[in-house]
Amino acid sequence: MSKLEDRIEKSFIENGISYEKQKPIIITDYPWKTNRSRSSPKVDFYLPENNLYIEIKGFMTMEAMSKMSFLARQCCNYYIFQGTEYEWNPFIENDTPIKSKEFKGTLSNSKQLELNISEQINEICTNTRDYFDNISSKTLLRLQDFIRKKIDQYEKWNGVWY
């Protein structure tokens, strides 16, 4: 388990949130399934009281983003917890009055990342099942925003995106 997963687990314990680790998502077919696949894809944490599947993600590869996008579109409450990319914006579609735009350009990358991690922990630990009933769409908006930032970076450095 990563340090970030340890930190999130500690937050669950401190907030009295029940959870399960390495919980399979109930899904029988998915694009990366092979003949050797013995079980459904698993997420890092599942919160049964909120019916929330949480994937803790470090560096975002194209394969990981594709899988997470697919899973967020299935019939479950799926949350991407991003812990290493400071460009990830957990304030999109979030009820927190603080918006990351206030901080853009004023915080170092490491402080922006810490703010993002703290915000995601707060979001998970303080909201109710009603809030998480449409978390998958919020997760997809955040993922789309992150990908758009990476494409913008590519275009800035290399010209037109193919």
Tens of pLDDT, residue by residue over 54-67, are: 999 988 999 999 99
| Beta strands 42-47; 20-24: pairing state | antiparallel
DSSP annotation of 157 reads H
Q: Do the beta carbons of residue 45 and residue 132 sit within 8 Å? A: no
Q: What letters, b where the CB count within 10 A reaches 16 and e where it falls short, cover 145-159?
A: ebeeeeeeeeeeeee
- Residue ranges covered by each domain of the chain: 3-158
Quote the pTM value.
0.89
Q: How many C-beta atoms surround the C-beta of residue 5 within 10 A? A: 16
pLDDT digits (tens, 9 = 90+) for 15-74: 999 999 999 998 888 888 888 877 789 999 999 999 999 999 988 999 999 999 999 998
Nearest to 12 by CA among 125, 90, 123: 125
